[in-house]
Homo-oligomer: A and B are copies of this chain.
Amino acid sequence: MLPIVTANGKDERELLGALRSRSGEVDRKVTAVVSEIIENVRLKGDEAVNEYTLKFDGKLPPAIEVSREEINDALTNADENFVSALLNAQENIADFHNRQKHQSFIDPKENGVILGQRIRGLERVGLYVPGGTAAYPSSVLMNAIPAKIAGVKEIVMVTPPTKEGKANPDILVAAAICGVDRVFLLGGAQAVAALAYGTETVPKVDKIVGPGNIYVATAKKLLYGVVDIDMIAGPSEILVLADETAEPKYLAADLMSQAEHDVLASAIMVTTSRKIADETAKELERQVETLSRKEIIKKSLSEFGGIIVCETVDEAVTLANEIAPEHLEVMMENPFEYIGKLDNAGSIFLGKYAPEPLGDYYAGPNHVLPTSGTARFFSPLSVDAFVKKVSYIYYTEDALREASGDIVTLAEKEGLTAHANSIKVRF
């Protein structure tokens, strides 16, 4: 099921090639369809949105906006264990993200000059939550909590209606717990366009976040600039670094926890121990049969999974940095010494008792992470993603006079004489 290959060989290159091939080009047909949806929603507002809802979701829900009462009812009627788990997760997520919050600063200088940077939450943010089996309450928490902490004034959620024309109640519970302000029963590219431009019913937002299918992702990409968006997420992935002290039973379970997401997910283990490699392969065969999503797991493991055996730890670390995985588990004897060596990853899980699902649901750091090698330059979703910064400058007459020669020199060097003039008229 999971090929075991040696580092630096042809098989390893093929595996890495397959990994990269998952994030293909933007599909032209999808782009054409989505462009038309966006244009119609921009021009016709609710009328267009309702047409698309009818077309794609089968029928219009009785009300597009979910009432506050229905949201509160979802929370009241929810299973106690579920609510308690969400509340505990919320506490951890809020605690971690509170540490990311930055203050505005001011720098008043002795000569009277004052410089500063003001940081403020965005006015209104849209959160897309998929329907069907991908309606994940944890995703609501991971997007809404940092937005709230950043000081976003209003969070507007959109989610496709169920067949009964309702919202998924689990999603509403998470929304109630996180203080989502409004919920609309809308899905697909039309929901994204409605948030970007605003309609008679749906308020215009400043940023759109949250996962979605190819239509949602394409709409976000096309509307980048009209609004801000979060990262463009690709298929999920895990890389496990393991030495001979690792526990094959855990390794196998963790690889499969990622592989179950979808057939494009990738689970790779890089190890310095051939013995661990062999034992993990056996554990995979054994455990997979007990899992409900075993068909997905088998497919993703055989297409985008692998165990790579390295000669040295340095070689293993270099490979991990090259792959730049979304999730990186360090099952090594002294996991902490690798934090500084691992350049590129979304989130790093250290030691035997930090399995990836701990980060997905509970520990506190965000689970919205850069995929497909983009951890080279993208970062986990954070409070920073929901703020806007403004710089400000105050100069005194004397300070500007002193600077005037330099400014005029630079402006004239660039041929921008009206820039120079705005200094000269003052003196």
Contacts and interface: CB of A to CB of B under 8 A. Distances in A.
A172 to B, nearest CB: 13
Interface in A323-341: 335-336, 339-340
Interface stretch (A8-16, A268-276, A310-318, A414-422): A414-422
A254 B393 CA distance: 15
A137 B413 CA distance: 9
Contacts of A224: 224, 232
A122 B370 CA distance: 14
A400 interface: yes
A357 B82 contact: no
A170 B407 contact: no
A345 interface: yes
Contacts of A413: 82, 137, 170
Nearest to A391: B365
Contact of A376 (B85, B117, B388): B388
A104 to B, nearest CB: 9
A77 interface: no
Contacts of A115: 96, 363-365
Contacts of A207: 377
Interface in A110-157: 113-118, 120, 122-123, 133, 136-138
A427 B261 CA distance: 23
A115 B416 CA distance: 51
Nearest to A256: B418
Given A99-B105, A399-B353, A419-B360, A425 B85 contact: no
A88 B406 contact: yes
Copies per assembly = 2
Contacts of A113: 363
A176 interface: no
B225 A347 contact: no
Nearest to A78: B413
A361 B400 CA distance: 12
A214 interface: no
Contacts of A365: 115, 117, 391-393
A345 B390 contact: yes
A113 B350 CA distance: 10
Given A339-B118, A347-B390, A380-B391, A407 B362 contact: yes
A60 interface: no
A248 to B, nearest CB: 10
Contact of A99 (B86, B117, B380): B117
A339 B392 contact: yes
Interface of A: 23, 81-82, 84-86, 88-89, 96, 99-100, 102, 105, 107, 113-118, 120, 122-123, 133, 136-138, 170, 206-207, 224-225, 227-228, 232, 249-250, 253-254, 256-257, 259-261, 287, 290-293, 297, 335-336, 339-340, 342-366, 374-380, 382, 384, 387-397, 399-400, 403, 405-407, 409-411, 413-426
